[in-house]
Chain A
């Protein structure tokens, strides 16, 4: 007996949706769409804007790739990553800014006047050291409790940035953060800075790829799936969890150092909890346990952030909120139809 046309259509649609969910096509479509969007914006707004966009992308990509090591590969849903980003940014600002604030009648802080490349390793190490101390405590937790304690870390970090005015100048922020200088080549131009950020992004992606492809990465995935069984087979899971947490935090510290130098001004508003949540959203949107996904997610996010201001019918005062609404809607749609994200295979 033949089925009715309506039933046939419904079943065809269902099959189509299943194919869309299961096949890698959606990743290809997303790649093409996002890259086309980037090209359009570049052609429309000029290369100067594209260079800025590229730099912001590199910084967010370092952040999202590093967070994916913890959230996607190891299964520890941390919403506190922004804290390490902040440590990196403030490290760069404190160590390199040599502006005299007395003239501005605002709070004064110690001036170190270090060059960029001396400060950057300190940013990375400082983030790693804080991660080591925090991670030793966090290792006791898993799942929803882990989310809560990492939430607590993000709140504490923000309040330290805001309140430790002798070090961070609190809400006033620190300006004139140094730009990098290599010999006589001062990386002051936007394109130069983009190249520098891209090099660091490549290094981070390379390290991450090496880690997740190695036997170390296999253990991380095993911990995500069943930590107790990993222990039974001889894996000291607390060591692995702590190691990837510290490595990930160091990468975020690197991104923070670049961000501080890029914007030349650092204040606590860049490190609020919402930013951390957006970062987690990028990782989920791109795909858990997928480095490619995190790059795609970061690019989509940056284009959304920067691209929406050019929508003609959208009043400029609503752009900020509209971005978050669009991102929220995208996340809901994604969770409904493709819970593993654009390029991922795992669900939360």
Chain B
């Protein structure tokens, strides 16, 4: 649920909704019944940035992405895309330029790899444009071209993750939201995934917000990072400032109480 236009204008005059930001969350609160998932969380992503969202289990990292995609019960606040409130149904969001790669890959295991990728570009009616996108994904992930006729169920976890990211990119998004892309993957694959995410950010100039638990890997490639704790922003800054302070140690060891945020 988003705020009324009047409230949004007020937020903008307060300087909360900065139009130079491609994606911005202003005072987003999410409640799962009596449980508070997010409490007045505000964060922003500029065009071309790679922003990491980190924090311990239950901090609300994934909820941030779900709130953007309309998949979480938002009780207050507004999501802005290019300075405009993003208050459309979930199935309309991808057409606005935001693609979501969910946690656990969630590829369509009984569809082939090519079919999975084509699922990502519903709103592209031109077949030649679809083919062009398909080819660019195959160039980025050659393994997907090799196995394009295989069912996704026959792929390894790492390959499925590449497929999930590729499916997201097929939508041609301005903003790519990645939810725990390295979850459950072998260490060698984890570094490969981070390399690909970095490559997408740099070569395709896609704005990326990535929720990640692998702190070392993500801080190596991110431009900025937010640290969440108990549904609130505990810190935001560059990877260097995050590492210089003890904030990560504090939140992961539970040294930061709610009142201190």
* Chain A residues near B (Cβ < 8 Å): 215, 218-219, 221-222, 224-226, 228-237, 289, 345-346
Min CB distance, B100 to chain A, in Å?
A: 5
Which residues 53-110 of B sit at the A interface, judged by CB distance below 8 A? 69, 71, 90-95, 99-100, 102, 106, 108-110
The 8 Å CB contact of A233, one of B109, B110, B115, B171, is B171
In the complex, are the beta carbons of B108 and A235 less than 8 A apart? Answer: no
The 8 Å CB contact of B106, one of A215, A226, A345, is A226
The answer to whether B111 has its CB under 8 Å from any CB of chain A is: yes
Which residues 109-137 of B sit at the A interface, judged by CB distance below 8 A? 109-111, 115, 118-120, 122-123
Cα-based distance from A215 to B124 in the complex (angstroms): 13
Given contacts A222-B119, A226-B106, A228-B71, contact A234 B91 (CB under 8 A): yes
- Besides the contacts A225-B109, A230-B119, A237-B91, what 11 more A-B pairs have beta carbons closer than 8 Å? A218-B115, A221-B110, A222-B108, A222-B111, A231-B90, A232-B69, A232-B90, A233-B94, A233-B99, A234-B92, A234-B123
A218 partner residues in chain B, CB cutoff 8 A: 111, 115, 118-119
In the complex, are the beta carbons of B111 and A234 less than 8 A apart? Answer: no
Cα-based distance from A215 to B159 in the complex (angstroms): 24
B91 partner residues in chain A, CB cutoff 8 A: 231-232, 234-237
Min CB distance, A146 to chain B, in Å?
A: 19
The 8 Å CB contact of B102, one of A232, A235, A237, is A232
In the complex, are the beta carbons of B94 and A232 less than 8 A apart? Answer: yes
* Chain B residues near A (Cβ < 8 Å): 69, 71, 90-95, 99-100, 102, 106, 108-111, 115, 118-120, 122-123, 167, 171
In the complex, are the beta carbons of B122 and A229 less than 8 A apart? Answer: no
Cα-based distance from A231 to B106 in the complex (angstroms): 13
Given contacts A218-B111, A218-B115, A221-B111, contact A233 B106 (CB under 8 A): no
Min CB distance, A7 to chain B, in Å?
A: 30
Cα-based distance from A235 to B123 in the complex (angstroms): 9
Cα-based distance from A215 to B94 in the complex (angstroms): 18
In the complex, are the beta carbons of B110 and A226 less than 8 A apart? Answer: no
A229 partner residues in chain B, CB cutoff 8 A: 102, 106, 108
In the complex, are the beta carbons of A345 and B123 less than 8 A apart? Answer: no
B120 partner residues in chain A, CB cutoff 8 A: 233
Determine chain A's interface SS by DSSP, over half rule.
helix
- Of listed A221, A232, A235, residue having the most chain B CB within 10 A: A232
B99 partner residues in chain A, CB cutoff 8 A: 232-233
B102 partner residues in chain A, CB cutoff 8 A: 228-229, 232
Can you report 19 residue pairs joining A to B where beta carbons are below 8 Å apart?
Answer: A221-B110, A222-B108, A225-B111, A226-B108, A228-B102, A230-B119, A232-B69, A232-B90, A232-B91, A232-B102, A233-B120, A233-B122, A233-B167, A234-B122, A234-B171, A235-B91, A235-B122, A236-B91, A237-B91
B95 partner residues in chain A, CB cutoff 8 A: 234
Minimal Cβ-Cβ distance residue in A for B98: A232
Cα-based distance from A229 to B71 in the complex (angstroms): 10
Minimal Cβ-Cβ distance residue in B for A229: B106
Cα-based distance from A225 to B109 in the complex (angstroms): 8
Cα-based distance from A218 to B112 in the complex (angstroms): 10
A237 partner residues in chain B, CB cutoff 8 A: 91
Cα-based distance from A235 to B91 in the complex (angstroms): 6
In the complex, are the beta carbons of A225 and B119 less than 8 A apart? Answer: no
A221 partner residues in chain B, CB cutoff 8 A: 108, 110-111
Min CB distance, B96 to chain A, in Å?
A: 10
In the complex, are the beta carbons of A225 and B122 less than 8 A apart? Answer: no
Minimal Cβ-Cβ distance residue in A for B116: A222
B106 partner residues in chain A, CB cutoff 8 A: 226, 229
In the complex, are the beta carbons of A232 and B100 less than 8 A apart? Answer: yes
B109 partner residues in chain A, CB cutoff 8 A: 225
Min CB distance, B79 to chain A, in Å?
A: 15
B119 partner residues in chain A, CB cutoff 8 A: 218-219, 222, 230, 233, 235
Minimal Cβ-Cβ distance residue in B for A218: B115
Cα-based distance from A222 to B109 in the complex (angstroms): 9
Min CB distance, B137 to chain A, in Å?
A: 14
In the complex, are the beta carbons of B94 and A234 less than 8 A apart? Answer: yes
B111 partner residues in chain A, CB cutoff 8 A: 218, 221-222, 225
Minimal Cβ-Cβ distance residue in A for B101: A232
Min CB distance, B135 to chain A, in Å?
A: 19
